[in-house]
Amino acid sequence: MGLIIGIESTAHTFSFGAVSSDGSDVLPSSSSLYRPEEGGIHPREAADHHVQSAGDLLRTAMGNWGANKDDIDAIAFSQGPGLGPCLRVGGAVARSMSMALDVPLVGVNHCVAHIEIGRRMTGCDDPILLYVSGGNTQVIARASGRYRVLGETLDIGIGNMLDKFGRSIGIPFPGGPEIERKASRFIQENGSEHLLDLPYAVHGTDMAFSGILGAAIAHAERGEDPGLVCHSLQEVSFASCVEVGERAMALTGKSEILLGGGVACNQRIRTMTSIMAQERGGEAYWPERPLCVDNGTMIAELGRRMLDSGIETIMTNSAIDPSLRTDMTPVIWS
Ligand code: AMP
Ligand code: MG
CB neighbourhood size of 279 (10 A): 9
Give the residue, out of 263, 268, 289, 294, with the most ligand 1 atoms within 8 A of its beta carbon, to mutate for a pocket test: 263
CA distances to 265, 280, 328 from 271, in Å? 11, 14, 32
| 39: amino acid identity, one letter | G
Q: Which helix (H) or strand (E) holds 153?
A: none
User: Which residues place a Cβ less than 5 A from the ion ligand 2?
Assistant: 133, 294
pLDDT value of residue 39 = 75
Which parts of the chain sit beneath pLDDT 70? none
CA distances to 131, 151, 309 from 319, in Å? 25, 28, 21
**Beta carbons of 18 and 27 less than 8 angstroms apart:** yes
Q: 123-126 — which CB contacts under 8 Å span 24+ positions?
A: 123/285, 124/256, 124/258, 124/283, 124/285, 125/256, 126/254, 126/256
119-144 pLDDT, tens digit per residue, is 999 999 999 999 999 989 999 999 99
Nearest CA to ligand 1 atom 8: 262
pLDDT value of residue 75 = 98
Identify the residues whose C-beta falls under 6 Å from ligand 1. 13, 133-135, 159, 162-163, 174-177, 180, 261-263, 265-266, 293-294
CA distances to 28, 53, 215, 262, 300 from 49, in Å? 21, 6, 34, 20, 22
Which residues are 284's β-sheet partners? 257
Helical segments of 157-292, H only? 158-168, 176-190, 210-221, 226-252, 267-279, 289-292
Ligand 1 centroid – CA 120 distance (Å)? 21
* Ligand 1 atom nearest 180 alpha carbon: 20
pLDDT value of residue 236 = 98
Question: What is the SS3 assignment for 150?
Answer: strand
Ligand 1 centroid – CA 175 distance (Å)? 8
* Domains of the chain and CATH, by start: 3-115+291-328 (3.30.420.40), 126-287 (3.30.420.40)
Give the phi and the psi of residue 117 in degrees, each rounded to 5. Answer: -70, -35
Nearest CA to ligand 1 atom 2: 134
Ligand 1 centroid – CA 294 distance (Å)? 9
Nearest CA to ligand 1 atom 5: 262
Ligand 2 centroid – CA 114 distance (Å)? 7
Ligand 1 centroid – CA 114 distance (Å)? 14
pLDDT value of residue 83 = 96
Counting ligands in written order, which one lies closest to the CA of residue 134?
A: 1
Q: Which residues contact 63 (CB under 8 A, 6 or more apart)?
A: none
Counting ligands in written order, which one lies closest to the CA of residue 110?
A: 2
Question: What is the SS3 assignment for 180?
Answer: helix
pLDDT value of residue 40 = 79
**Beta carbons of 159 and 176 less than 8 angstroms apart:** yes
d(CA 304, CA 26): 11
Question: What is the SS3 assignment for 11?
Answer: coil
Question: What is the SS3 assignment for 17?
Answer: strand
Would you give the end-to-end CA distance of the chain in angstroms? Answer: 25
Give the residue, out of 162, 233, 268, with the most ligand 1 atoms within 8 A of its beta carbon, to mutate for a pocket test: 162
pLDDT value of residue 41 = 86
